[in-house]
Every structure is written in C-alpha cells, then in structure tokens.
Structure 1
Amino acid sequence: MSDIRVLAFDVFGTVVDWHASIRAEVAQLLPQVDANAFALAWRDGYQPAMDKVNAGTLGWTLIDDLHRMILDEVLRRFGVTTLGEAQIRHLNKAWHRLAPWPDAVQGLTRLKTKFTICTLSNGNLGLLSNMAKHAALPWDCILSAEVFHRYKPDPATYLGVAKIFDLRPEQVMMVAAHHSDLDAARACGLNTAYIERPLEFGSTRTKDVADNGANGYHAKDIEALASMLGV
C-alpha cells in the first residue's frame, strides 16, 4: 500500500448523490410525476446505453447525449408533453449539478494531501468539470471515458489511468460504490476500495453494502477511507 500514488474515483453514486439531486430537480420542474420513479427510470437506461457504445452498435457518444436519448424516452413513458426544448435541455444538464455526499469534499481534501486524486467516470469532461465547480470537488485531475473513447468496465479505462500517470496498475487504487466497477479494475491489476452508499438509489431501492471480501478496503464513506489510508 505504501506504493499507491493515485486514487481514481468513480463519481456518480460514489462521490455525488445523483438520486436525491435528480429527484429534486424533477420534482420542481414536473410536480405531476413521481420524481423518485422518474429518476430511477432515467438512471436505469444508463448502462444499456453505454453497453451499446462499447459493443460498437452505437458510435462514440458522450454521456450528455446518452442522457438526452434516455430522457426523451422517459418523458414519453411518463406522458410528459408540456416541456419546451430549452426546459428539456436544462433538465438534461441536471447531471452537471449533482450535490456531493456530506463526507465527500472533506474526505477528498484529506486524501489529496497524500495522494493524487482524480476521477475515472463515464461522465464526459464538460459534465465532470461543471460538477466539480458546482460541488467544490477538489480533484487534481479529471479523467473520463471520453479520454479513452471506451466506457467502464472496458479495461482501457482502468489501464488508461496508470498510463497517463506513468504508473504500474497496482500503484493506482480504484474507489467506487459499485462492486462491478471494482471487479473490473481489480482484473486489470489495480488496487480497490469500496465505499458504502446504501441510499444511492433512494430509500425505495436500498443497496446491500455488505463486505464481499474481494476488495482491499471497505469503508463507510470517503472520510473513513482517508482514516484507513492514514490521512
């Protein structure tokens, strides 16, 4: 562990509370719909859309554009016909305005004193930059699937972090609230740390955050991880 140089963070769900943020914006703009169900439906389209890109059935497409494709379908499904184009565009950019979990900024700030901290997110660069500004996230570097033109869990993303920093894979630690993300990173030789986010999908779809025994670290939140890493 003394040789870890870079902590690469998943962002959606790990660092920011996408569900509460999206639900709040939907509730404000569309009080007639079930904002919780709408937020979950929007997010449920996320992985299938990226899988199409990685499989080559859809050309390289930014998350902003994938979010818009999914949003258009969700609006139809929920029978929403009252929004103009400017309102839909504003709602689609809600993913740029996600609020951090209460421990995130302080935890990242602590970790930054010992490690280089960066994103490794499927969000595009513009989205992640706007989010960092909005949420005061103190990244040293913003890395995105956009840099590699592959979405996680493609190995090119995890190995790409090590290549950019001229490190061996084991000198990078992937930090995420999703076991599938960490499994893929570990298969590429990265160290891993799991962050518990039982309410990532809200109170109606709670997650099992029990330790699966596969990860190097298992922490309640980012501040707890900082303590584990001696910061």
Structure 2
Amino acid sequence: MANPPSVQLLLFDIFGTVVDWHGSIAAEMARLHPEVDGDAFALAWREGYRPAMARVMAGELGWTRIDELHRLILDDILPRFGLGGLDEASRRELNRVWHRLDPWPDSVAGLTRLKKRFTLATLSNGNIGLLTNMAKRAGLPWDCVLSAEVFRAYKPDPATYLGAAAVFDLPPEQVMLVAAHHDDLAGARACGLRTAYIERPLEFGAGHPKDVSPEPANDLHARDLLQLADLLGA
C-alpha cells in the first residue's frame, strides 16, 4: 500500500515490536539462574502484565509505573520458580532486565532509515526512565520518548494516542502507530491514527510462534522495520 502522504510522526510500540522481551529475559535467566526454565519464566512474567494494568485502570491501585507493576509480578512468580529466597538487591537488579532488552536485529537500522523522513517517538506503557535507559543501551534513535506515564493512562486508552498527537500539534491522521499487536493498532485506528503492523512471529519465543496474518484495516503490513522503511520510501 502506498505511503499515506500526510504522515509526519511515527509512534512505536516497544515491547515485542522494537525489542525482544522474551529472548532477552530468557537469556538473563540462563546467565543468572540456569536452573530455571527461562522460556517459562519470561512467559509467566509477561502474563501478569495485563492483569496488573487492569488493577490500575479499575482503580484498585493508584497510578503505577510499569517498573513497579513488573516488580509486583516478579515478587509473585519467584516462588513458583524456586527463587523465593532472592534478596532485595537481586530482585531489584532482575526487575531492571526490562531496561536492558535487546532490539530485534532489524530495529536500529530500520529506525535510522525512518528517522531521515519522519519524526520518531515511543508510545509505550513502559515508563520514561525504562524507555530512556533501553534506548541508550540499544542505540535506538528516538526523537522523543513518550510513555503512558506522560498521560497517566495505559494503551489502549484514547488519551495515549490522542495525547501523543497533541504533543506534536498534529491531527491524528498525520500520525501513524507502528506495532506488532493488533489490539494496540485497533485502539489507535479508533482515534483516527494511521496504523502499520510489524510481524514478530517469535515474540513469545521459538516454541510459541505467533500468528502474524494481515489485518486488512491496517494501512501497512511489514515483515520488519527495514521493510516498513521500504514501504514508506525512507
């Protein structure tokens, strides 16, 4: 599909779209706790993500950054994997693995190409410190780091998508969300944003391939960020 000519700003989902959370966490566990099934541990940690956010959105918890939600989930799952005895320093360091996630092999090169033509910003439920540390370590060339933390609302709340457009004083149709998750893209589309789907079949690990079939409602569908750059003429 041709590049929507009016798009000026590309917003990026991060976990799974730009960085490989599963592979990074599994590798960290292999290094620190080789006796633990890193695949199962990564999946269990991620499984707690939506329920934890739901507690905030329902008012059960006050506004909580993702770093704190990750820690709540971590403390809950550690005993399940025989790690209930980890001390506070070890728990704190393990929780920061989310700041150290590795990019997919195409991410830095793809973003670098896209940056020549578009303004690039994160739009993640991850908090600002996490996203900034991740970008610094991985060399992700953002023009701006935006987060649910800015809007005190998690995606897919419309406040995130519309808030990001408003930061740049752009109408929604001049903004495109890039993500590997159809629910995120549907939320953006409902707010009038353009959408680009990125295939990440191994997001949940090689043992759990993900269906990456196209969704016709998206403006663009790309294998990776390099192909997205091709499609957008960058």
The question of a shared fold, defined as TM-score above 0.5 by the shorter chain, is answered with yes
Structure 1, 30-39 or 187-196: larger mean CA deviation:
30-39
Give 1:110 deviation, angstroms. 0.4
User: Which residue, out of 64, 69, 75, partners 1:66?
Assistant: 69
- 1:216 matched to 2:229? The reply is no
TM-score by length of 1: 0.98
Give 1:81 deviation, angstroms. 3.0
Q: Deviations over 1:202-225 (max 9, x none)?
A: 012110001121200000000100
Cross-structure match for 2:42: 39
Amino acid at match of 1:128: L
Amino acid at match of 2:89: A
- 1:158 matched to 2:142? The reply is no
Distance 2:223 2:64 in 1: 34
Distance 1:163 1:55 in 2: 26
Q: Deviations over 1:80-100 (max 9, x none)?
A: 134221111100000000000
- 1:24 matched to 2:27? The reply is yes
Amino acid at match of 2:156: P
- The percentage of aligned residue pairs carrying the same residue is 67
User: Which residue, out of 56, 70, 80, partners 1:77?
Assistant: 80
Cross-structure match for 2:177: 174
Distance 1:223 1:44 in 2: 29
Structure 1, 28-37 or 217-226: larger mean CA deviation:
28-37
Q: Deviations over 1:121-180 (max 9, x none)?
A: 000000000000010000000000000000001000000111100010111000000000
User: Which residue, out of 49, 59, 65, partners 1:56?
Assistant: 59
Give 1:76 deviation, angstroms. 1.7
Q: Stretches of 4+ moved more than 6 A in 1?
A: none
- 1:142 matched to 2:145? The reply is yes
- 1:117 matched to 2:114? The reply is no
Distance 2:85 2:33 in 1: 9
Amino acid at match of 1:76: P
Distance 1:29 1:105 in 2: 27
Supply the RMSD in Å over aligned alpha carbons. 0.8
- 1:105 matched to 2:78? The reply is no
Give 1:2 deviation, angstroms. 1.2
Structure 1, 123-132 or 29-38: larger mean CA deviation:
29-38
Distance 1:164 1:81 in 2: 43
Q: Deviations over 1:10-50 (max 9, x none)?
A: 00000000100011111211111111000000001011111
TM-score by length of 2: 0.97
Cross-structure match for 1:5: 8
Give 1:58 deviation, angstroms. 1.2
Amino acid at match of 2:65: L
Cross-structure match for 1:126: 129
Q: Which runs of 5+ in 1 are unaligned?
A: none
Distance 2:95 2:64 in 1: 15
Cross-structure match for 2:201: 198
